[in-house]
Chains A and B, each alone.
Chain A
Amino acid sequence: MDKSKRYVLWVEELCKDDIYVAGKKCCNLGEMRQAGLPVPPGFVLSLEAYKKFMTDSGVESAILEYLNKNMAKLKQDVGMFDEASAYIMNLLESKEMPAELKELIYEYYENLCEQCALPEVPLAVRSSGPVSMPGQFDTFLNVRGKDEVIKKIIKVWASSFNARAMAYRLQRGLQVESSPIGVAAIKMVNAKSSGVMFTLDPLNGDRSRIFIEGSWGLGESLVSGQVTPDKYILDKVTLEVSKKTVCSKEMELVYGPEGDVVPRKISEDRRNAPCLSDEELLQLARYGKTIEKHYGVPQDIEWAVDVDLPFPNNIILLQARPETIWSKKQSGPAIESKGSATEIIARQLMQGIRF
């Protein structure tokens, strides 16, 4: 069946051209998987699935009706968006998943449980929009059980109606009543440590470096800036470590007994230990090189080390996207390239060397 018509797909069925099938994040994961990189297994709900839910459940027309009634107020008063958002999100969350989708999600979830040899594999359920939108959509971690998965998928869809996103769509003259996004439902990584990796030095744009930041536990603590992470800089070509800064890491996020994410204080002895072993660091950097080669441009990558798996399978890549700051800078030549080597040397010797 044509990919674009399907409601649920495996991550690895997607490639980079499929952003209008299931959004950027899902495509990225699919593309990475196809490039032989270790992304966690999972399935995705396509944009079609979103549309089907919106029409079959009657939500779309209900939203239209609500919007028509309140459009004037919305345009005048930004504060109204909060009220509208609450109303619409509530509306979505009150609806049932259409039967056809429900069956499919059950099927894929059970299959995934089998693959992972776990009765109720915990998932991360995340949004995957085809275009970048301001306003964070919701992400749900550690989701267990097929009905819980369905509930969270609907919640992610609902989050496309958060106030900022709606206001943005209205201002840009985009459709307000519907904004199809994909949803990625992928296996949770039981992260011993996690972090980000850039395949260049974000401080100076040096493309011969790989820059890695990491901390103990789940990645959220790093993203939200609660911990000063360890920093590693490697030579991209030789993979030699050129800089290693191990910081004192006071806390980490871990799964609580209820499957929720809780902060935990890090014991004295682990606090100052590097969150990546030498072999993990090296393997991660190798993946960084592979990803950059695959996409042809420097990448910004989220990674984790799974506590349940042995090395090297424990290194998991959660996401990769093109690095945007340095890559966009169209830098001119570092020095004038005109003429013979002698001419270049002469010009440079004239200026003197400032070491």
Chain B
Amino acid sequence: MSEKRGFKDPHEVAPVPGTEGWERMYPYYYLFTTEDREMETHEDKLLWYYDGLHYPEPMYPFDLIWDEAWYMALSQFNSRIFSIPASMGIDHRIVNGYLYIAPIGIEDPEIIGKRVEEFMKRAGYYYENWNELYDKWKEKVTDVIKKVEQLDLSDLPELEDDSVVFASKGKSSGFELVRKYNELINYGLEAWQYHFEFLNLGYAAYVILADFCKKVFPGMDDATLSKMVGAVDVILFKPDEQLKNLAKLALKLGVNETIKQSAKLDDALTALKESEEGREWVEAFENAQYPWFYMSTGTGWYHDHWTWYDKIEIPFNSIKNYIEMLEKGESIDRPIEQVRETKERLVEEYTNLLTNEEDKATFQKLLGVAQTCFPYVEDHCFYIEHWFHGVFWGKIRELAKVFVNHGFFKDVEDIWYLNRYELEQALYDLVTSWATGVKPRGPSYWHSEIEWRKGVIQKFREFAPPPALGATPETITEPFTIMLWGITSNSMQQWLEAGATSPEEVSELKGFPASPGVVEGIARIVRSPEEINELKEGEILVASTTSPSWTPVFNKIGAAITDVGGIMSHAAIVCREYGLPAVVGTGFATAAIKTGQKIKVDGDKGRVYIDK
């Protein structure tokens, strides 16, 4: 590949010292090919970019499940279901624990032509019946969630209940546990099938609209377009709204002081139960939780992105924060009316700027379908990544307790170091040992392996994954690649240029102007959800990526910068909502900027200036 300009050959990335053998933690098909020359050449010709948007951390073997889920789901909806004309799926690989993906295009015009016919029928059906189908979608997804909630993954009995005999069930709890594990995994994969039922088409509608706008209004920025398309009422803000309502209720009932003076939620609940008003608030607090407290403190993609249920002090502190704001007379409501008015005015004025009737018609059609699609695009994360994942991680922990009881793991949190196939094997080991009454092989096999894997994951963290590997294509045509990851011919160029200097020397970063405005302030690097509370008033959040569950801090910060993400990434959406400048997809802001540095964020131009 040396004759072609590009990134490092994916086959030639050196392993991190001390992690040799890491490959066995992941399924073989996630590794770059070594046994097939033809396949190797094919891999070399693709652009593999690091999916830091979803995976800012190295992959835990078990957490890979969501990647496996969308590896199939996203791809199949492009390639086999909706027949997206010029793109197949997105291929996946792991390098030194980090996930790389490559969009697969179609170039043969004859094939594209045939795919178009099917696309029109199939995509047309979804676009035309979007809201009705979306209602069905919510039913399907909540149904899967309920089924997972009902799965009982408790430990095996010493002796089976006699109903197994007298009701002639004919099968054991051991068998059931294996079956339920497989069901749980299948529900996970099923939820992710639904995740992409609408998403590809939603993104396609947006990308085509954006492309049209670039033609008629070359200077229009993405933030303006997303204001025209974005839904006003977004489910992702509902969890936060619950907290705001609870803060208001606390003031109304006069229990605000009690809440504020309690260091922990439990202290507050004890104190509140003393009075009638307090009990009313506690009841409201309990009723407000489901399902909104499944909001993840991260993106929901990793097992340690705890939900508000797991970290109840996070929503509790937010309530206290909102109470204080209300006491100071500040408004805590989202400026919904203003967002709605701006949206309508932008659409009207931009339509009037078009000079011919054809373009006006195109704009209206494309905008209409993009607006229809957008509530799903913005809301699906809550259903899948937050709610479903929250329930799912909980169930896996239930199962982990069984393993701990049987000595397989020293700790519940050890379970994440096994991938889903290994876990099925370990479970079979467990149930057969339960059945035979013989000591299981698991403990002796897994204890040392898990210790070794912990060390490997830790060493992976020291590896800075390059933004891309492989070749640079002339154009990027896959809708997700552009919209979600913000990968364009331009950003690739920047990465290539940036590769020449070390991050510490960089004083200016380029990214996507995701939300307008210019702000100067002190930077704070936030590397994990646990660190968000360290942010101080007016500081500029610098993160690899953010999640809308960080919403409470957006009331506090001056601006946001991310390494990864396009204009539809979470940070971008929330910043536009809150009127904060944001620059996303800078590639390596967390490496170039240090906490405490003075920086200037220009959300109009997509630039970050570092005062070094």
Instruction: List residues of chain A with CB under 8 Å of any chain B CB.
Output: 201, 204, 206-209, 233, 235-238, 240-243, 331-337, 340-355
Contacts and interface: CB of A to CB of B under 8 A. Distances in A.
Contacts of A347: 116
Interface stretch (B191-199, B218-226, B589-597): B218-226
B495 to A, nearest CB: 15
18 contacts: A206-B219, A207-B217, A209-B219, A237-B224, A240-B516, A331-B355, A333-B358, A333-B359, A334-B362, A342-B119, A344-B365, A345-B366, A346-B123, A350-B113, A352-B105, A355-B475, A355-B476, A355-B488
Interface string B474-488: 011101001000001
B219 A242 contact: yes
Given A334-B362, A341-B369, A353-B482, A238 B119 contact: no
Given A334-B212, A355-B489, A350 B218 contact: no
Given A207-B217, A243-B604, A335-B215, 10 more contacts: A206-B219, A207-B355, A235-B221, A237-B353, A238-B346, A344-B366, A345-B123, A348-B208, A349-B119, A352-B475
Contacts of A354: 475, 477, 489
A114 B582 CA distance: 53
Nearest to B126: A342
5 shortest interchain CB distances as A-B pairs:
A333-B358, A352-B477, A337-B358, A342-B124, A208-B217
Contact of B346 (A204, A237, A334): A237
B88 interface: no
B365 A206 contact: no
A243 B520 CA distance: 18
B211 interface: yes
Contacts of A342: 119-120, 123-124, 127-128, 369
A333 B489 CA distance: 26
Contacts of A340: 124, 127, 365
B211 A353 contact: yes
Interface in B107-130: 112-113, 116, 119-120, 123-124, 127-128
B84 interface: yes
B362 A345 contact: no
Contacts of B365: 337, 340-341, 344
Counting chain B CB atoms within 10 Å of each CB, the highest count among A237, A242, A243, A345 belongs to: A345
B116 A346 contact: yes
Contacts of B355: 207, 331
B100 to A, nearest CB: 21
B346 A344 contact: no
A350 B369 contact: no
B65 interface: no
A34 B86 CA distance: 55
B274 interface: no
Interface of B: 84-87, 105, 112-113, 116, 119-120, 123-124, 127-128, 204-205, 207-208, 211-212, 214-221, 224, 345-346, 349-350, 353-356, 358-359, 361-362, 365-366, 368-369, 475-477, 479, 482, 488-490, 516, 604-605
A348 B211 contact: yes
Contacts of B345: 237
Contacts of A241: 604
Contacts of A348: 208, 211-212
A208 B207 contact: no
B604 A240 contact: yes
Given A236-B353, A331-B356, A355-B490, A341 B205 contact: yes
Prevailing SS type, chain A contact patch = loop
B345 to A, nearest CB: 8
A336 B353 CA distance: 18
Contacts of B208: 344-345, 348-349, 353
A112 to B, nearest CB: 38
Contacts of B354: 207
A345 B205 contact: yes
A201 B219 contact: yes
Contact of A208 (B204, B219, B604): B219
A243 B518 CA distance: 12
B85 A350 contact: yes
Nearest to B127: A342
A335 B219 contact: no
Counting chain A CB atoms within 10 Å of each CB, the highest count among B86, B207, B359, B362 belongs to: B362
A341 to B, nearest CB: 4
Contacts of B224: 235, 237-238, 240
B362 A206 contact: no
A334 B215 contact: yes
A206 B204 CA distance: 24
B305 to A, nearest CB: 31
Contacts of A235: 219-221, 224
Contacts of B366: 341, 344-345
Given A209-B219, A355-B489, A349 B86 contact: yes
Contacts of B476: 353, 355
Contacts of B119: 342, 346, 349
A344 B120 CA distance: 10
Nearest to A238: B224
A348 B87 CA distance: 12
A213 to B, nearest CB: 16
A131 B123 CA distance: 57
Counting chain B CB atoms within 10 Å of each CB, the highest count among A201, A206, A343, A352 belongs to: A352
A237 B354 CA distance: 13
Contacts of A242: 219, 221, 604-605
A240 B135 CA distance: 38
Contact of B212 (A233, A243, A335, A350): A335
A204 B217 CA distance: 9
Contacts of A208: 217, 219-220, 350, 353
A341 B346 contact: no
B359 A337 contact: yes
Given A208-B217, A208-B220, A345 B204 contact: yes
Contacts of B475: 352-355
B490 A206 contact: no
A2 to B, nearest CB: 38
A206 B85 CA distance: 30
Contacts of A243: 219, 604-605
Contacts of A207: 217, 353-355
Contacts of A335: 212, 215, 362
A296 B349 CA distance: 13
Contacts of A238: 224, 346, 516
A272 B353 CA distance: 34
Counting chain B CB atoms within 10 Å of each CB, the highest count among A208, A238, A337, A342 belongs to: A342
A240 B366 CA distance: 24
Contacts of A209: 217, 219
A204 B355 CA distance: 14
B171 to A, nearest CB: 49
Contacts of B488: 355
Contacts of B482: 353, 355
Contacts of A336: 358
Nearest to B220: A208
A253 to B, nearest CB: 31
Contact of B349 (A201, A237, A345, A355): A237
Contact of A337 (B105, B204, B217, B361): B361
Nearest to B221: A242
Contacts of B221: 235, 240, 242
A206 B212 contact: no
Contacts of A355: 211, 214, 475-476, 482, 488-490
A353 B488 CA distance: 10
Nearest to B118: A346
Contacts of B105: 352
A335 B516 CA distance: 29
B205 to A, nearest CB: 6
Contacts of B346: 237-238
Contacts of A344: 208, 362, 365-366
A337 B216 CA distance: 13
